[in-house]
Structure 1
Amino acid sequence: MRKRTPARSCLWLLASAALVLASAAPARQDGGARPDAPATAQPPSGVWYEIFVRAWYDTDGDGIGDLNGVTAKLDYLKSLGVDGLWLMPVNPSPSYHGYDVTDYEAINPQYGSMADFRRLLAEAHKRGMRVIIDLVINHTSDRHPWFQAARDPADPHHRWYTWAGTRADLGAVSATGGPAWHALDGRHYLGVFTGEMPDLDYDTPAVREAMVGVGRYWLDLGVDGFRLDAAQHIYLDFQSQWGDPRAVAKNVRWWQDFRAGLAASNPRAYLVGEVTQDSPAGLAPYVRPLDAVFDFPLAVRLIESVKQERDRGILAQALPMAAAYAAAGRATGDAPFLSNHDQERVMSRLQGDARHMRVAAALLLTLPGEPFVYYGEELGLQGKKPDPDLREPMRWNRRADAPGETRWKPLTANRGGDVSVEAQDADPRSLLNLYRTLIHWRAGLPALREGDLHGFDAGDPQLVAYTRATPGQKLLVVHNLSGRAKTLPLAPTQGFAELLRSTSAGARLDHGRLLLPAYASAVLR
């Protein structure tokens, strides 16, 4: 592995980052112009799809998913209606998951080559699809050349990491609950997640310079932005720092500087951050430097609401977040989701209840922001801890041993052929086709993508209702969380007189009353 240095990055001057970087843009590594941005021949849905490449689709028969497999299935994703891909880490790494990077400017050889990656970008952009990649820069692998060099206190890279001083509490608990300090060569270094993931020190200017260079490197290749792993942990290191406004302020300042540094390569790069807070107040500061943050509290409320068949405060979370984004000048912001690669899959949390899953999907895909769908969620894949079981092979065929199916780990769930694209594709009542329907609603109804959010009093805790409005369109969205048909009276002054969409053929508007079957959702104009 060749050693990376900041030499290929621009000069880091915080006071005038954008201007300096604009004049010092690094040369393209392939000698060409930046690849075309995604085409926009049809209205976007604003929906993203998270892919674990290892588990996705295998084109070379080794049992491991690869980048060519992502390219091979772009048309499937296009048919689903998504217009953005989030690729979990694609850099070289000693782990199966890739969240401990050993080379920030290379592709994991198990996944393919840089040429394969460029081909994927080009084919995705032809289809009007954006591509963002996981950017894991809070920490490196302990096998990264930087950290290997840092073991020598005389090497400049020693200052790239945090080492315990004489007064450090070596028994301190990290912000993620494990030991914060890890022994090496008679010293101790900071590793918030594990000892295999030493934290970089962002008070070192060379670290900041290097990471802006990494971001620009991928943007210049044509990547459309980044999912920022552990975005709150740049300066949130210890359990005692939770809630400390100083740590939050330093995190926010770094991401502001990072965005400014990227501007010379792509001022419109999409940045979505992993910020694991449990309230709007905890998430709101990160809305200023980032386009969106993953709405973890909303995911909890969505799942608990459909599971209990009673509203558990969905709008109490969604409305303050909408206000926070509006205050930051991004009225259509937020990154709602149901589950991801670190959490028990949503179908497992719902104990396999497909009725509840359908309502959860309808809620997710009619709320503000740009929703994220975890691969296989549209099929009802299940998965419980430990982490590898949350990231099991995507099911394409009824037969788990069919060509293209990955075999990176044995299946612990989803062994049946019904949970597969092959089984659900042609079934109009399948979960897969419900996802297609809902995502295409977003593409066809601008207010579902871009509209303001306002609460609507349905007078029944088993009904969730809200309006989505743009200057040209006002919609009322109603979800029946329960197993019984519900009736919602609508006054003529409210103006909703046309039933536009429904997930059930039994839904109807009759003399000012919306009749909504069990577990159904409807959109009115």
Structure 2
Amino acid sequence: MFVRSFADGDNDAKGIGDLKGIVSELDPYLNDGDPKTDADLEVGVLWLMPVFPSPTYHGYDVTDYRAINPDYGTMSDFENLIAKAHQRGMRVILDVPFNHTSDRHPWFREAINDPSSPRRRFYFIERDTGTRRDGWHTITSQSGERLQYFGLFSPSMPDLNFDNPDVRREVEAIATFWLNLGVDGFRLDAAKHVYGDSFAPLPDNDVLGNNEWWREFSRFVYRSFPDAILMGEVLGDREIILRHAWGLDALVDEPFMNEVRAEIARPGSGFVGRRKTFVGEARALNDMAIPTSLPSTDQPFEPFAFVASHDRNPRLASDLEEMKRHGMPYSVDEGYRLAMYMLLAMSSHPILYEGDEVMQRGWKWNGNPRTGTTDPGDGSGIYDETLREPFPWYASGHGPGQTRWFPPRFDAPNDGVSREEQARPGGMLDLVRGLTNLRTRHPSFANGDIGANPSDSPEWIVFERISGSDRYLVLINRTSGGKDYRFHAAWFPQYIGADLLFWSDGHARTWKDVSADPRQIGDSVFVPPVGLVVIRQRS
């Protein structure tokens, strides 16, 4: 969740989303704490993008790791959010960029201006010899000393030096501060860049350095907070994630997003099988790094799957519109439903980026100067803001709680993309709530592992979700016509006579959860066009 864009709780003139706004939308939008209701999204974990003081709108350059951005509220507001979330069974994790600080952080200003300060060793700072290197930036201290410092992402984001034990202890102390306040864990920004000085593939020594630090950090956190969520941002292909899988017990799963989008653009074979193999390999690598002295030695590695993010260009709905222009065999709405089926039926830890549930659009903007010699833009200075536009609550674009901090480029009144419009029967929000509530009513389905994979073709994706003795079968029909899927003595006979729990017709935009009064099937089950069916084996 990008707090700035979600909901404006004080309805002030700035129109900036805030912590009070999140609290106001716990009921009934995010999670009302009652699994018997179905008007909420049943959010289990709320991931907040940076809420710390920062000179930028996005907050990934922090000036104080132990405070709340005044645009978002007060520490009291934050503690109230934690308490209200916990009352509803929700957990809250903070997005923390430990890799770098803001160049306005007091540590960095002291490091630049006081050559004798121990803070200088918090960063990579050298005397400026006139040599220019990628990622290194020049600065002059208050006394006139000309220096260079390293900041991989930006001159305004100087990297911290994790070879310095004092930096490591400071990061651990910051984590402890928030965990003691009730925070349930962290999304660890730029986790693969703690070591390494470029965006190119990392050499082995840097990969090892990242893993060893994050394992040290994990041990520190788990000793006092064994149930904490530690999810690292490691972007790249499956091999890159595997190489970092023993440093942290959870990583965001960018390859899942890439494969889902590719499978919708051009249906292929083997999607489920590839993911099952990847998860197994990652868990095996992670197991080798877990010391038996920890209180949670049996926690398996988990990839947190997603199909859109605040960084991915473009957002899912906009990407599907582009795919349709290039021959995608589905309508945009049908393709989006397939993505939601795959995300919410295949992953035990699916991530919904704020706005995914209402098909929010967005492309990265080119705000470069009009007269630039390379890639000239419109001169607006706007770039990622258009991937993080205000969440559209109302068809009209106006109403209580609607954020207005940024004039949307991709949202317009009555365009069908809002909470108000998409909550109606046939809307995407209506489907997403149906699937998330199904997951809440059937935790073994939601949290189970992928079992057998009977079909994995351009026409069918069929796989088991298993947890203990509970076995579910997910059937996704990727074609434009409804089809029967048959079982017999030589083909998964255990599902003959299974209970039908849920079905969705992607073409007709209808669905129904019948799990409260399941219907027993015979030796086949009908799966609607561009449809999903979930059945449960009878014990």
Report the identity percentage.
Answer: 37
Mean CA deviation greater in 281-290 or 242-251: 281-290
Verify: 1:340 aligned to 2:309, yes or no. yes
Verify: 1:389 aligned to 2:386, yes or no. yes
Verify: 1:155 aligned to 2:117, yes or no. yes
Q: Which residue of 167, 190, 211 maps to 1:230? A: 190
Equivalent residues in 2 for 1:259-278 (5 A)? 259-263=218-222, 265-278=224-237
Q: 1:112 to 1:489 in 2, by over 3 A?
A: same
Cα deviations by residue, 1:118-167 (Å, 9 ceiling, x for unpaired): 11101111111000011111000000000001113222111110135789
CA distance in 2, matches of 1:511, 1:440: 26
CA distance in 2, matches of 1:432, 1:283: 31
Give how far 1:524 is off. Answer: 2.1
State the partner residue of 2:208.
249
State the partner residue of 1:486.
483
The answer on whether the counterparts of 1:68 and 1:120 sit within 8 Å (CA) in structure 2 is yes
Verify: 1:503 aligned to 2:504, yes or no. yes
Give how far 1:265 is off. Answer: 4.2
State the partner residue of 1:71.
23
Give how far 1:101 is off. Answer: 0.2
Q: Which residue of 130, 137, 148 maps to 1:182? A: 137
State the partner residue of 1:212.
172
Give how far 1:490 is off. Answer: 2.2
State the partner residue of 1:436.
433
CA distance in 2, matches of 1:245, 1:398: 51
Verify: 1:516 aligned to 2:527, yes or no. yes
Amino acid aligned to 1:65: G
Amino acid aligned to 1:228: L
Mean CA deviation greater in 462-471 or 158-167: 158-167
State the partner residue of 2:66.
105
Verify: 1:365 aligned to 2:358, yes or no. no
Verify: 1:293 aligned to 2:251, yes or no. yes
CA distance in 2, matches of 1:278, 1:169: 34
Equivalent residues in 2 for 1:466-477 (5 A)? 466-477=463-474
Cα deviations by residue, 1:350-379 (Å, 9 ceiling, x for unpaired): 118111111100110111331110001111
- SS in structure 2 at match of 1:484: coil
Give how far 1:422 is off. Answer: 2.0
CA distance in 2, matches of 1:217, 1:310: 48
Give how far 1:503 is off. Answer: 1.2
The answer on whether the counterparts of 1:231 and 1:275 sit within 8 Å (CA) in structure 2 is yes
C-alpha RMSD of matched pairs (Å):
2.3
The answer on whether the counterparts of 1:325 and 1:334 sit within 8 Å (CA) in structure 2 is no
CA distance in 2, matches of 1:95, 1:448: 41
Give how far 1:496 is off. Answer: 1.1
State the partner residue of 1:423.
421
Q: 1:168 to 1:84 in 2, by over 3 A?
A: farther
Structure-2-length-normalised TM-score: 0.82
Q: Which residue of 130, 142, 163 maps to 2:103? A: 142
Amino acid aligned to 2:400: P
- SS in structure 2 at match of 1:441: helix
Give how far 1:314 is off. Answer: 4.3
Q: Which residue of 253, 259, 264 maps to 1:306? A: 264
Q: 1:218 to 1:490 in 2, by over 3 A?
A: same
Q: Which residue of 311, 319, 336 maps to 2:277? A: 319
Give how far 1:264 is off. Answer: 5.2
CA distance in 1, matches of 2:501, 2:130: 62
Give how far 1:523 is off. Answer: 1.3
Amino acid aligned to 1:257: E
The answer on whether the counterparts of 1:131 and 1:225 sit within 8 Å (CA) in structure 2 is yes
Amino acid aligned to 1:77: L
The answer on whether the counterparts of 1:446 and 1:473 sit within 8 Å (CA) in structure 2 is no
- In structure 2, list runs of 5 or more residues that go unmatched: 32-39, 141-145, 288-297, 322-330, 366-383, 513-518
Q: 1:283 to 1:405 in 2, by over 3 A?
A: same
Q: 1:101 to 1:444 in 2, by over 3 A?
A: same
- SS in structure 2 at match of 1:366: helix
- SS in structure 1 at match of 2:476: strand
Cα deviations by residue, 1:427-471 (Å, 9 ceiling, x for unpaired): 232111111111122222233223221342327422112111122
CA distance in 1, matches of 2:93, 2:249: 13
CA distance in 2, matches of 1:384, 1:509: 46
CA distance in 2, matches of 1:430, 1:334: 28
Q: 1:260 to 1:221 in 2, by over 3 A?
A: same
CA distance in 1, matches of 2:319, 2:409: 16
State the partner residue of 1:349.
319
The answer on whether the counterparts of 2:92 and 2:185 sit within 8 Å (CA) in structure 1 is yes
- SS in structure 2 at match of 1:183: strand
Q: 1:225 to 1:510 in 2, by over 3 A?
A: closer
Amino acid aligned to 2:392: R
State the partner residue of 1:28.
none
Which stretches of structure 1, 4 residues or more, deviate above 6 A after TM superposition? 165-169, 505-510
Mean CA deviation greater in 230-239 or 263-272: 263-272
CA distance in 2, matches of 1:161, 1:287: 27
Amino acid aligned to 2:495: F
The answer on whether the counterparts of 1:89 and 1:99 sit within 8 Å (CA) in structure 2 is yes
CA distance in 2, matches of 1:149, 1:161: 11
State the partner residue of 1:13.
none
Q: 1:513 to 1:169 in 2, by over 3 A?
A: farther
Verify: 1:445 aligned to 2:405, yes or no. no
More relative contact order in 1 or in 2 (CA 8 Å, sep 6+)? 1
Q: Which residue of 397, 406, 409 maps to 1:412? A: 409
Give how far 1:312 is off. Answer: 6.8
CA distance in 2, matches of 1:370, 1:86: 12
Cα deviations by residue, 1:203-236 (Å, 9 ceiling, x for unpaired): 0111111110000000011100000000110002
How many residues of Structure 1 are paired with residues of Structure 2 in the alignment? 465
Amino acid aligned to 1:424: Q
State the partner residue of 1:56.
6
- SS in structure 2 at match of 1:254: helix
The answer on whether the counterparts of 1:362 and 1:521 sit within 8 Å (CA) in structure 2 is yes
- In structure 1, list runs of 5 or more residues that go unmatched: 1-50, 173-179
Verify: 1:196 aligned to 2:156, yes or no. yes
- SS in structure 1 at match of 2:205: helix
Give how far 1:115 is off. Answer: 0.5
